[in-house]
Chains A and B, each alone.
Chain A
């Protein structure tokens, strides 16, 4: 297996070359194009329960396995948003990520939902995604992705954390402590603790949507 990530960070795409017999597991909808030598198979990876928990984690119930069956072949994989893609080699490790960040993997990796608690309701939802095992993992987000080496503590705006290593934990709070900060629409932020790598994105789809909102037509009284 060989891969190349092209057009990063604006419109990153994975071009992956599979030898005969090799396969890649891809989030449904993320296959952009592929050679005819590659055959897709849709499965409920890990059984029904794993499918359900994945669904809670903002990913799909089913996962697609693409295998090069009649000789080698190339597959193009890209997420739905325009943005950066990060590759991470997992060696019996666990990563946590926000809903929707998972893209594809090669090897023996499992994805399942994690309960983020009610603190998560302010961020990306009450469930996050837990990815663990051994293999090559690809994840992405809207915007550029920057790697931060957390040594003790780090602050990230709510909704901008893409993924983090298992030794990191976070809590949600307000940036300021004063009453003034509460009254005047202060930011909700995630405070990460521990030691490990953290990936942050530089753009938020939610902010973009909020910007587009005023351009919508106003509903007339007759509608």
Chain B
């Protein structure tokens, strides 16, 4: 190893005096080994500088929170499932609901008052078509119709052994929907 090699790095860093630097330059021109060393040291400098830049860039770059890719993946998976398995529509069973029944309540009123001036709303008519059986049944409904009929045998009216002999009848009791007694009839 020649004597100039220990000064090479200081020479590269421009830390030598002008006189010493000139001596190193003259030596390098004719020393192959020192030129090779000089190239190696410059390569180390360059790589070290790039490494420091890389460390800084990696540390100062904005970091994405860990939950962001997880959430994004979950959303993509949910979207894929939605596309693969489209939503199936659940049809309600054809059962008359209380709402429909209530909507049909005004119908008998309309039927019973044909002299009403205003025509029935179109929407009501459409509903009548949909729930046609219910509408027909409601149209035939009569408020005065008997709601309950009860047949009471004569022996049920007396205490055991108290019924007079020769008496045998059945009392039929008709009760109106409003609770009033509509008719009492006795039959043999």
Q: Do A and B bind each other?
A: no
